[in-house]
Homo-oligomer: A and B are copies of this chain.
Amino acid sequence: MATTQVIAEFLAREFPQSKCVVEAIGECSSTVSHPIGFDELRPGGTVSGPILMTVADVALYSAVLGELGLVALAVTSNLSINFLRKPSAEKDIVGHCKLVKVGRTLVMGEVMLYSRGDEKPVAHVMGTYALPAKT
CB neighbours of A130 from chain B (8 A): 105-106
Q: Mark A101-113, 1 if CB is under 8 A from B, else 0.
A: 1001110101000
**Copies of the polypeptide in the assembly:** 4
Residue of B nearest to A105 (CB): B105
In the complex, are the beta carbons of A13 and B78 less than 8 A apart? no
- Of the candidates B15, B110, B128, which one forms a contact with A77 in the assembled complex, judged by CB atoms under 8 Å apart? B128
- Of the candidates B13, B15, B101, B134, which one forms a contact with A133 in the assembled complex, judged by CB atoms under 8 Å apart? B134
Q: Is A14 an interface residue (CB 8 A)?
A: yes
Bound together, the chains give a CA A56 to CA B79 distance in angstroms of 13
Q: Mark A7-45, 1 if CB is under 8 A from B, else 0.
A: 000000111010000000000000000000001001110
